[in-house]
């Protein structure tokens, strides 16, 4: 933080309990002094201290009166404490203006500047003035300040860096489970069964053909799981005769994961399309084709055209392409920037 502030042209004072020991760690332009000294001279104070040590600042309470304290702390667990760190800090220093911010930016991004990935700095505070001051600091540092409203948002902002794709966990494990089931079934059907019955070695089918027949099964089941909870929710509303009753928790959870399940369904469908398109690239396809041709030639059979087979394949492929095209449209509308440009009528029309 100090490095970035210095690089952005701010005058930085580092207040430490051991100014001498810390001096070497900071850029030359940042002056390292004692805590009280720094608190007295600075206008905006970044409190880079663990929550447990906030109380050690209490002896500075007099010099801190009227200053802006920026709480940059993070927790190790989601909703670890009853009140957020920033609210706790505000309760310790009622005479200061506390702003939550900069905790969502990684140390690496702080040190090397905002490059790729997320450039947003989420800020909240009960004071508009203090929020604006910190937002302008973030702006000059090259980040995009985002106003998250009043102090009540601090808990949410502190939880953000601890999230690891929470909405994706259940859908991904579900998709993996479905994949394993269908893969086993297809393996038995396409490889094990012909081997046992006719002693034919079809092991070469495992990497592509078995995977390729498994993917659309997963995709279909996932897609139906996207639309099923809506139907169940409607039924539950009809049954209880009211729209104002909360759904049971499992249904609520399910409704919340629909978008992720839909995207996984699309991912499987897209992979299935690529796998299918790769089928004629394979050596095995080539060999089987040539062997059929040779067999036909030797037997002097001039025609092998089966109208029914031709039609079946033409219709399969053509329906598959149309389905993938429609699913792509759905997937594109789930991009945040597209979703934000659609109103709910357009969104449900597309769905």
Closest CA to 29 of 52, 6, 48: 6
Residue 326 CB, shortest distance to a second copy, in Å, is 11
| Non-local CB neighbours of 183 within 8 Å, separated by 6+ positions | 210, 211, 214
Which residues in the 17-56 window bind a second copy by CB under 8 A?
25-27
Indicate the residue among 231 and 298 with the shorter CB distance to a second copy: 298
Q: Give dist(CA 242, CA 140) in Å, integer.
A: 52
- List strand residue ranges (DSSP E) for the chain, in order: 13-16, 31-34, 44-47, 68-71, 97-100, 120-125, 144-147
* Using rule CB under 8 A, residue 274 touches a second copy: yes
* Using rule CB under 8 A, residue 3 touches a second copy: yes
Indicate the residue among 135 and 217 with the shorter CB distance to a second copy: 135
**Contact pick of 68, 99, 121, 211 for a second copy (by CB under 8 A):** 211
Rg (CA), the chain: 31
Residue 77 CB, shortest distance to a second copy, in Å, is 13
69, β-bridge pairs: 45, 98
Which residues in the 147-176 window bind a second copy by CB under 8 A?
148-150, 152-153, 160-165
Which residues in the 277-306 window bind a second copy by CB under 8 A?
277-284, 286-287, 289-298, 300-306
Q: Give dist(CA 206, CA 194) in Å, integer.
A: 13
Two structure tokens written together for 206: 């495992």
Indicate the residue among 33 and 127 with the shorter CB distance to a second copy: 127
Q: Give dist(CA 196, CA 217) in Å, integer.
A: 25
* Using rule CB under 8 A, residue 109 touches a second copy: yes
Q: How many residues bind a second copy (CB under 8 A)?
A: 110
**Contact pick of 136, 196, 224, 253 for a second copy (by CB under 8 A):** 136
Residue 54 CB, shortest distance to a second copy, in Å, is 24
**Contact pick of 116, 198, 199, 231 for a second copy (by CB under 8 A):** 116
Q: Give dist(CA 214, CA 186) in Å, integer.
A: 7
Indicate the residue among 199 and 348 with the shorter CB distance to a second copy: 348
* Using rule CB under 8 A, residue 346 touches a second copy: yes
Kindly write out the interface string for residues 229-268 of this chain, putting x where it contacts a second copy by CB under 8 A and - elsewhere: -------------xxx--x----x--xx-xx-------x-
Q: How far is CA 200 from CA 140, 204, 205, 279, in A?
A: 70, 11, 12, 20
């Amino acid at each position: 933080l100090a490095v970035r502030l210095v690089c952005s042209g701010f005058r930085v004072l580092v207040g430490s309990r051991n100014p001498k020991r810390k001096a070497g760690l900071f850029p030359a332009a940042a002056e390292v002094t004692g805590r009280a000294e720094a608190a007295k001279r600075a206008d905006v104070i970044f409190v880079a201290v663990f929550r447990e040590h906030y109380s050690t600042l209490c002896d500075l309470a007099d010099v801190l009166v009227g200053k802006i304290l920026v709480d940059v702390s993070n927790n190790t667990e989601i909703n670890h404490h009853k009140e957020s760190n920033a609210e706790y800090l505000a309760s310790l220093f009622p005479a200061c203006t506390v702003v939550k911010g900069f905790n969502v930016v990684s140390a690496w991004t702080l040190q090397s500047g905002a490059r790729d990935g997320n450039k947003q700095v989420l800020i909240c505070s009960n004071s508009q003035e203090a929020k604006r001051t910190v937002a302008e600091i973030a702006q000059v540092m090259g980040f995009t300040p985002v106003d998250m409203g009043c102090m009540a948002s601090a808990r949410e902002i502190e939880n953000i860096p601890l999230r690891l794709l929470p909405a994706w966990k259940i859908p991904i494990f579900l998709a993996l489970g479905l994949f394993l089931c269908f893969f086993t079934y297809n393996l038995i059907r396409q490889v094990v069964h012909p081997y046992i019955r006719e002693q034919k070695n079809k092991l070469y089918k495992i990497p592509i053909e078995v995977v390729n027949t498994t993917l659309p099964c997963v995709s279909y089941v996932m897609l139906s799981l996207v639309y099923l909870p809506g139907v169940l929710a409607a039924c539950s509303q009809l049954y209880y005769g009211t729209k104002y009753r909360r759904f049971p928790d499992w249904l609520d959870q399910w409704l919340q994961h629909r978008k992720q399940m839909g995207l996984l369904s699309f991912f499987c469908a897209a992979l299935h399309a690529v796998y299918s398109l790769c089928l004629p690239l394979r050596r095995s396809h080539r060999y089987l084709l040539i062997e059929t041709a040779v067999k036909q030639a030797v037997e002097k059979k001039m025609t092998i055209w089966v109208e029914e087979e031709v039609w079946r394949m033409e219709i399969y492929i053509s329906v598959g392409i149309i389905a993938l095209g429609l699913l792509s449209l759905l997937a594109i509308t789930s991009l945040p920037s597209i979703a934000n440009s659609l109103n709910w009528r357009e969104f449900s029309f597309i769905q």
